[in-house]
Amino acid sequence: MRKSKRFTLLATVAALGVLAAACGSSTKSSSTNAGATTTAAAASSNVTAGLAFDTGGRGDGTFNDSAGRGLDQAVSQLGVKKIELDAVKDEDRKSNLLLLVQQKANPIIGVGFLFGDPMLPIAKANPNTTFAIIDSVVDAPNVRSLVFAENEGSFLVGAAAALKSKTGHIGFIGGQEVDLIKKFEAGYIAGAKAVNPSIKIESKYLGPAGDNSAWGNVAGAKEIAKGWYDAGADVIYTAAGGSGAGTIQAAVEAGKWAIGVDSDQYLLAKPDEQKHILTSMLKHVDVAVFQTFKAVADGDTKGGIITFDLKTDGVGYATSGGYLDDVKAKLEAYKADIISGKIVVPTKP
């Protein structure tokens, strides 16, 4: 996890003056509220896109990075201005949303389900601002709730794990033990058992609900993965944010497979790590973020629930490295069955 926060502002000089008053500097600050970095850029849109990252921020290699790519795409393709904030501690989520309101960002996106509680009253107090939240539902007319069928994407990587396992022994490591991450676990188990009903599947979480260290516990994930690899497991899927780096490290040392999450982690890995990343469950947070900014830029400011699933290409699996080439036809058949409704993927283990 990061120990400092970054505030990147592409805005007018007047807005920078307000930011300086809020943060104590127009360039950089070591304040626990927000540091600031200004970047000059011409914008063809009058939209100021606000993105509040969850803990870990850019550089986590998974969830936050995917959201960041969506913001960057909006800047480059739509010409929006941007304000982005990192959260260091829990209370930063509320303060960051308020700061984005103060800076007149619209829309404002909270990256993660933990933005739900602070977002509701702020959205109600600012009815002319469009908000969005990833991985949760906030019941307000000006909030777009962006939810994903993580269980469907996880079914496919679970099937891949079973198809590629030589020992019939695989594992799942989750971050916080919450309903959201249980969707990943449920899909993974269902996919693996669809291939091999007698497969052995280990499951363990890095922390209970509310334990933010679960998302950056690289050492903890590595310890669990090492134990399972030593006991015969040969594929482990980790849905725990930055903690997944520990599983990849253990896979390299054991000569086994790891499965990434959210982003295509093969593309972010070192060459020696790439040899051990079987696939990644893709969660297209970048698509959801970009589409939200584009909608508002096009004048669509309404709220509501928007679901990103296999049918809409909101989730999927990575094929980088070519390690799934020999089983891709089978995975695509499973995908088609899920889209058609022939297979209904559970959301709970």
DSSP 331-344: HHHHHHHHHHTSS-
- Is pTM, for the whole model, over 0.85? no
Contact 309, 152 (CB under 8 A): yes
Query: Which residue, 224, 226, 112, 219, is CA-closest to 173?
Result: 224
* pLDDT tens profile 207-263: 999 898 999 999 999 999 999 999 999 999 999 999 999 999 999 999 999 999 998
**pLDDT at position 152:** 98
Which two structure tokens, joined as six digits, stand for 145? Answer: 């709730």
Helix (H) or strand (E) holding 63: helix 63-78
* pLDDT tens profile 124-170: 999 999 999 999 999 999 999 999 999 999 999 999 999 999 999 99
What is the 3 state secondary structure string of 241-270? HHHHHHHHHHHHHHCCEEEEEECCCCCCCC
Q: CA–CA distance from 262 to each of 19, 26, 281, 303, 316 (Å)? A: 32, 34, 6, 24, 9
Q: Rounded to the nearest 5 degrees, what angle is found at the Cα of 304, between the Cα atoms of 88 and 87? A: 5
**pLDDT at position 59:** 85
**pLDDT at position 31:** 29
**pLDDT at position 237:** 98
What span, in angstroms and rounded, lies between the C-alpha atoms of 168 and 204? 18
Which two structure tokens, joined as six digits, stand for 115? Answer: 């933005």
Query: Which residue, 297, 57, 261, is CA-closest to 148?
Result: 261
**pLDDT at position 212:** 85
**pLDDT at position 88:** 87
Contact 103, 70 (CB under 8 A): no
Residue 106 DSSP code:
B
**pLDDT at position 119:** 98
**pLDDT at position 44:** 53
Which two structure tokens, joined as six digits, stand for 65? Answer: 């990075």
Q: Which residues of the chain have pLDDT under 50?
A: 1-43
Please name each of the domains of the chain with its CATH number.
7-148+285-308 (3.40.50.2300), 150-282+319-340 (3.40.50.2300)
